[in-house]
Amino acid sequence: MNKNAIWLLALGLGLCVVPARAAVDCRTFPNSVVVTGSTAIKPVLAEIAKVLAVPQSNGATETGPVTVLYAGAGSCVGIDAAVNGTPVTSATLAYWDGQGAEQACALDSTSGGLNADVAVSDVFASTCLPLPNGLPNNVHDFLGPIQTMTFVVPQASKQDSISAEAAYYVFGFGADSGVAPWTDPAQIFRRSAQSGTQRLLAAAIGVDATLWQGTEASSSSDLRQRLIAAGSNNPESTIGILAADEAQANRATLNVLAYQDFGQACASYPDRELDSNEKENVRSGVYLPWGPMHLLTAVDNNQHPTNHLAETLISYILGNQAPPGGLDLIALEAQRFVVPQCAMRVQRTQEMGPVMPFTPSQPCGCYYEKLANTSTSCKPCESNRDCTGDNSICSYHFCETL
C-alpha cells in the first residue's frame, strides 16, 4: 500500500495522521564539535552543551551558538577515533538545545561519517590499544574529573560487599565460579569489551575484558534496566557493573557493593557511607577502582588543540576556563557523582596503578564535600587570615590543608 492510500484510508477512518518530521542533518550545524566515546561523560556534557547552545556576549564581542554533537559508543571506540582517525558513523547523534532538551540529528554514514573532535574515555588509551610508544605526537590526553567504577546489586539484595578475588571468579568463570549467590550467567550483567567501565574493572580484578562471562548490555542505562528487571525475581543472584554516576543516581533500585582489592584487609564504599556522596574513600585512595576521564584531541607541536571549539569544550570540562552562563562546574560534578581533580588527594598515572600523593594548586575538597553532602566539617573562610596553621589556605571559602 503506498503513502497516498494510507493517507486516504486514515481520512476514511477519521484518524489524524501527522507526517513524521525528518531528523536534522548533523552536518548542517555551522559551529559544532563532535564528541564520541564513553557514555559516562554524557550528564556533564549535556549541561555544558546547554549553555554553549545559547549565544554568548562579554560586552565587546558576541559568539554564536555552539552545538555539541555526541555519539556514546564506549571508551575504546573513542580511543580508536582519536588515535586511528576512525570516523563516527552512528545513524543518529545527540545534541542539546538552550533549554537542555536532548535532540537527535541524522548522519548519513554512506558519506563517510564525521571525524571526532574530542574523544572521551574512562580508561587510558593503552588499556584499549597496544601503544608501546605511547600516543601519537599529534594526539594529547587531557585528564578530566575522576570517574568511579562499581559493582552493583538490586536494592533488595542482602549482599553488601565483594572482594577482587570473588569478582575474578564471578566475571571470569560465570556458572563455574563457585561464588554463591552469583552463579547464574543470566543474572550476571556486564558491558562489552569496548566499555571503559568493563576495561577498568578488568584491570582491577585481573580478568581480560574480552573474556568476561555473563549477559552483555549495550549501554550503562541498558545494564541498569536489565539488572533491575532480573532482580525483581531473584535479587540475590543478580549483580552487574556500573560507573558511579549511573549507579548512585539510581539508589532507589540499586546498591553499590563495598569493594576489597587484592591485599586490602577490608572492603570499603567509594564514600564514607553507603548513602553519602563525598567520595572520601576515592579521594584518599582507599577505594581503588577509579580513574580520570580522558579527553583526547588533535594537537599542534606545542600540544595545543588544533580545533578551537574542542579546546574550549575541554577547558570547560577541566575547569581551566569558567563555563558560560554561570555554570558551577564543581557543583555539577558533585551532582553527577564524579570528582573534580581539585578535590583529589591522590593520583595515578596508569590503569589501576599505584596511588601517589597529590596536592591541587587550588584545592576544592571542602567545597565539593559541602555540595555533595550538603554539609562539611571544614571551617568557612573569606581569606587566608581566617585559616590557622602554616599549610592551611582559604580556597572556595573553606580552609583547606595543603
Can you say whether residue 190 is alpha, beta or left, with left for phi > 0 and alpha for psi between -120 and 50 degrees?
Answer: beta
pLDDT at 95: 96
Asked if pLDDT for residue 10 goes beyond 70, the answer is: no
Q: How high is the pLDDT of residue 17?
A: 44
Q: In the chain, what are the domains?
A: 25-143 (no CATH), 147-283 (3.40.190.10)
To the nearest 5 percent, what fractions of the chain are helix, strand and coil?
30, 25, 45
CA distance 272 to 288: 14
Per residue in 76-88, is it b (16+ CB within 10 Å) or e — as a string?
bbbbbbbbeebbb
What pLDDT was estimated at residue 62?
A: 54
- Backbone angles phi and psi of 167, in degrees to 5: -65, -35
pLDDT in tens, 64-98: 799 999 999 889 999 999 999 999 999 999 999 99
322, 344 Cβ separation under 8 angstroms: no
Q: Is 41 left (phi over 0), alpha (psi -120 to 50) or beta?
A: alpha
Has residue 9 got a pLDDT over 80?
Answer: no
Q: Which three cell numbers stand for residue 322?
A: 569558567
User: What is the pTM for the complete model shown?
Assistant: 0.88
Rg of the chain (C-alpha set): 23
pLDDT, mean over the chain: 91
DSSP calls for 49-117:
HHHHTS-EE-SS-EE---EEEEEE--HHHHHHHHHH-PPB--SEEEEE-TT--EEEEE--GGGT-B--S
pLDDT of residue 306: 96
pLDDT score of 58: 58
The pLDDT of residue 43: 87
Query: Residue 152 in contact with residue 243, Cβ under 8 Å?
Result: no
Average pLDDT of 218-234?
A: 93
Cell digits of residue 336: 553527577
pLDDT of residue 12: 42
Reply yes or no on whether the pLDDT at 13 is more than 60: no
Question: What residues have CB less than 8 Å from 79, skipping those under 6 apart?
Answer: 37, 119, 121, 123, 125, 128, 129, 296
Average pLDDT over residues 211-224: 94
Tell me 299's DSSP state: B
Letter string b/e over residues 35-58, b meaning 16 or more CB atoms within 10 A of that residue's CB: bbbbbbbbbbbbbbbbbbbeeeee
The DSSP line for 217-259 is: -SSHHHHHHHHHHHHTT-GGG-BEEEEHHHHHTTTTTEEEPEE
Task: Give CA separation, 388 vs 63, 363, 392, 399, in Å.
Answer: 45, 16, 6, 8
Collapsing DSSP to helix, strand or coil, 356 comes out as strand
Give 361-378 pLDDT, tens digit per residue.
Answer: 999 999 999 999 999 999
State the pLDDT at residue 23: 76
Residues 190-209 have a mean pLDDT of: 96
Q: Which distant-in-sequence residues (6+ apart) come within 8 Å of 354 by Cβ?
A: 348
Measure Cα distances from 239 to 87, 167, 214, 267, 366 in Å.
34, 10, 10, 17, 33
Summarize the confidence of residues 308-335 as an average pLDDT.
90
Q: pLDDT for 237-259, tens place per residue?
A: 999 999 999 999 999 999 999 99
Rounded Cα gap, residues 187 and 234, in angstroms: 8
Asked if residue 114 has pLDDT above 70, the reply is yes
Q: How large is the average pLDDT for residues 134-153? A: 96
